Structures are given as C-alpha cells and as structure tokens.
Chain A
Amino acid sequence: QVQLEQSGAEVKKPGASVKVSCKASGYSFSSFDINWVRQATGQRPEWVGWLNPNNGNTGYAQKFQGRVSMTRDTSTSTAYMELNSLRSEDTAIYYCVRHSDFWTGSYNHDAFDVWGQGTLVTVSS
C-alpha cells in the first residue's frame, strides 16, 4: 500500500543539524511532490517546504530559508530534510507528506493525502 516511512527520533544540541529521511513505497516516487510539515506540542501544523522528486526542485517557507535543505535519492525512493543551526523552538514532530492534485471539474485542488508517521526532533542542551 501507499506509505511514507520516516526515520527515528532524534535528540540534538542547540546549533547542531538534523537530517530526517522519508522512504516512499507503493506508488511512483517521482510523480508526486514531497512536502514537510512540522508540529510542536500544542501548536498548529506548520509547513516547512516542498521537494519535487523528479527534478530535485525545492521551495521553502520564508522562516526556514537558509537553514533547511531538502534532497532526494530516486534510487531508493527516499526524501530527506536537513535542518541546521537548531534551536529549542525547532523541537517538534516533523512529517513528510505526499502532495496530490485533485481535479474537481473547475479547479485543481491540492492536499496532503499521505503522511509519514512523524519524526520527533528534540533540541535540548
């Protein structure tokens, strides 16, 4: 079945980097953008950025520009998100999600239709 399998929990010190992986299965990896969304405890989900697995193009939320990098390995259908210069406010569950387009007859609507199980990243000294 279609699924996204993420790497395990991480504990990092402030200033360090973290790299989270997301392995896709059950569908054509190159056919759907992968987005990353994070959610801190008690907060609403927050979009981090997107990756086009076909050509490697990326786009990041302004607040993460210069600190985040999204890459992929098409040979293993795996997407990666690396976040640098970690601070305590980056403590959150990070989800990779599949971005799908849904044609409703009038417009092309997009949504996140498949979610990974989440990776808890804890930043603490």
Chain B
Amino acid sequence: AQSVTQPDIHITVSEGASLELRCNYSYGATPYLFWYVQSPGQGLQLLLKYFSGDTLVQGIKGFEAEFKRSQSSFNLRKPSVHWSDAAEYFCAVGSGGGADGLTFGKGTHLIIQP
C-alpha cells in the first residue's frame, strides 16, 4: 500500500530564513510526487510536481523539491521564507494524471516568526 510520511507536524521559521519540509513516501511503482499548499479554509494549490527527469524540480513562489529515490524522499525547500508562506503544506503521491486518487501526508503547519 502506498503511504506518505511528513514527520514534522509543525515547523517555525523566522522570516528570511531557509526552509526544508520533509516528505518520505512508500510506493510500489514509479511515483508521481506533489507538494500542495493550503491556506486556512481554502482548497489546495499545487506548488510543484515530479514525474520524471531532473530530480530537482522548481515550483511556484520560489519553492523547489528534490526527488531522492534511494531515500524515498521528496523534500520541499525555499531559500528565504516570507510571512505569506505561513500555511499548511501537503506532500502527496500518485500514479500520475487523473487516473488515480492521491495519497496525502498528514501535512506540516508552517509558522513564520517576524
């Protein structure tokens, strides 16, 4: 069975500091990996995705993520966070496109300190 683990429930970062959110997955085939962001009471916005090719993927809002097959990880990074980055972040795995539903991690709540 597929699963996603986000080990950090909460992370607090000072504004301007760098950020790394961890994500580990378990998937029986070639994974399609995603990071989504959710503001309170809102839907999900796709930050970036990995399907194949270059293991370092660039997303919106200055985010990037690196796929490491040997570690079954897909960690999200940002060199300098802004107060507007405070939100809930979800890592997800699937088989690609719209063929199958996604399996989500439990999410990481990002708090930005001034």
Instruction: Determine if chain A interacts with chain B.
Output: no
Interface residues of A (CB under 8 A from B): none
Interface residues of B (CB under 8 A from A): none
